[in-house]
Chain A
Amino acid sequence: MYIEKLNVLNFKNYSSEEISFSPEINLVTGLNGSGKTNLLDAIHCLSLGKSAFSTQEQNLILTNQPFLSALGFFQKGNKSYEVRYDYQKGSKKVILLDGKAYDRLSDHIGRFPVVLINPDDQKIIREGSEERRKFFDQLFCQIDHQYLTQLMHYMHLLKQRNALLKEWKEGITKKDFVLLDSYDAPLIRLNDELHQKRKQYTQHFLTYFLLQYKKLTEDKEHMNIVYQSDLFKSDFPGLFQKNRERDQILERTTLGIHKDDFLFTLGEQTVKHYGSQGQQKSFVIALKLAQLEMMREFSKTEPILLLDDIFDKLDDERIHHLVHNIAGTTKGQIFITDARPERSMEIIRLLKREIRIFHIDKGKVI
């Protein structure tokens, strides 16, 4: 699958641009702040229905404009598709496939798979468990639509349950344990279903990941991903029930898959605390390339790969190695941004794939 043409209107610092891409390699250059990452984000929006960087649609609209619209022409299995992402201030965003708006935005997820690698991804290792759940959930949602539905149900019921606990604590409503049961029963069931899937998919992911990591580094260290969950404890339903008292005091649900974590280890140590900068960088790239391979397997389409500033602070030899690995991983469409493309160009040329170069200046392709 690849994106043939992108047309953006009032998207971030782009006022109006139409760009035709190569189905192979697209190198996006320009000064810092010119709009390279924004261009990749437009493609991300078309694929996942949301920005990779901003949770507020409002921030995606070009300053002082009332709306934005991004239109992408995709080729997938010899068919053309037109995906449009529209957002007007004060309205709900709309995603249209071939001119027809989706009833539910979630129906769009996974149809046009994209993997973005960005310097920000380091937070998957460095920050709290939420970032890791986000990473794995985004992957699992794209390969399994039922997982997405179950997760949305789970998060919704959790919000309701926590709101109820808060009202109890504030004394707004009298405690009615039958009502709490009405949330606990489906939550316990969904906890189990989602846990089984996370367990299974993480195991599957690990195989891809270890191969990628080995290819990326000379490292002899043994890397691992350990899935941690309250659901591994015996008799989770009983435990959940027992925890109700605590939940009432804390006004939130303290047990469940929303507390899961994925521990990244290096031998006996954690990657977060003992991994070198280089190891951490390779670790994240391996996570992302494994994501791409798993998405390809499940969606049976080649995902688009967006590489944002990944050559930054790498020496030529490491760039060489990285490019070689990426080329070995995907024959699909690739976007690469680089503020200083002189060096990466040389190396990318060696791949002997069609390369199109775009110079960006203040939100314009020149």
Chain B
Amino acid sequence: MNIPSKLIEEAVEEVSKLPGIGKKTALRLVLHLIKQDAKATYGLSDALKNLRENITHCTVCHNLSDDTVCSICSNTHRDHKTVCVVEDVRDVMAIENTMQYRGVYHVLGGVISPMNRIGPDQLTIESLLQRLTGNQVEEVILALSTTMEGDTTAFYLSKKIKTLEVKITAIARGIPLGGELEYADEITLGRSIITRTLLEA
């Protein structure tokens, strides 16, 4: 792409590094910001800077959080005996949207995939197992994607958890989770949480 301004080119370069944004879209966004009041650009850059500097992970469930313990984990009205294991924050949001779940979460941060150099140690699995040893938790719900990596991770977790005194359940297969959020249908997801079944390990 031939951009006559170095300033615009640099901005386009940065914006197009975002996933799903090509050079053309990036240019459109940048030109849009130029047309707007300067406030719009500062609002955006300040919000991003603030986000980057202050966002953190909940030390209990590893969900993205503004504080060391997230709003779900610190909510005493929630059922802390039930932990729902998901891949990432988008899954937490999808399940929260159904309003059918009152327990807490554990965010793995992905699924096991040796090809991509992601093993149990790259995920928050050790922390989950520790959380479950304390006798506080009675049920673990596995809500992982139905990809092969999701299946492997679920199999692995169920074997690891089996030795602890915790009930393991799983939501129905075929429920879009783990990055497939755009297809998530709240009623189906909500139902599958209620009708979750005991996992045979």
A residues with CB within 8 A of B: 153, 156-157, 159-161, 163-164, 166-167, 172-174, 176, 178-179, 181-183, 185-186
Contacts and interface: CB of A to CB of B under 8 A. Distances in A.
Contacts of A181: 155, 159
Interface string B166-199: 0000000000000000000000000000000000
Contact of B120 (A160, A176, A185, A186): A176
Contact of A182 (B115, B117, B121, B156): B156
* Interface size bracket, B side: 10 to 19
Given A157-B152, A181-B155, 18 more contacts: A153-B148, A157-B148, A160-B113, A160-B114, A160-B115, A160-B149, A160-B152, A167-B117, A167-B119, A173-B121, A174-B121, A178-B156, A178-B160, A181-B159, A182-B112, A182-B152, A182-B159, A186-B155
B151 interface: yes
A175 to B, nearest CB: 11
Contacts of A153: 148
B117 A183 contact: no
Contacts of A160: 113-115, 148-149, 152
Given A153-B148, A156-B148, A157-B148, A163 B156 contact: no
A166 B119 CA distance: 13
13 contacts: A159-B115, A160-B114, A160-B148, A160-B149, A161-B114, A163-B115, A172-B117, A176-B120, A178-B159, A179-B120, A182-B112, A182-B156, A182-B159
Closest 9 CB pairs of A and B: A163-B114, A164-B114, A182-B156, A182-B155, A163-B115, A173-B119, A178-B159, A182-B152, A160-B114
Contact of A186 (B114, B117, B151): B151
Interface of B: 112-115, 117, 119-121, 148-149, 151-152, 155-156, 159-160
B164 to A, nearest CB: 13
Contacts of A185: 155
Contacts of A172: 117
Nearest to B116: A163
A176 B119 CA distance: 10
Contacts of A179: 112, 119-120, 156
Nearest to B149: A160
Nearest to B154: A182
B157 to A, nearest CB: 9
Contacts of A157: 148, 152
Nearest to A164: B114
A273 to B, nearest CB: 38
Contacts of B156: 178-179, 182
Contacts of B119: 164, 167, 173, 176, 179
Contacts of B148: 153, 156-157, 160
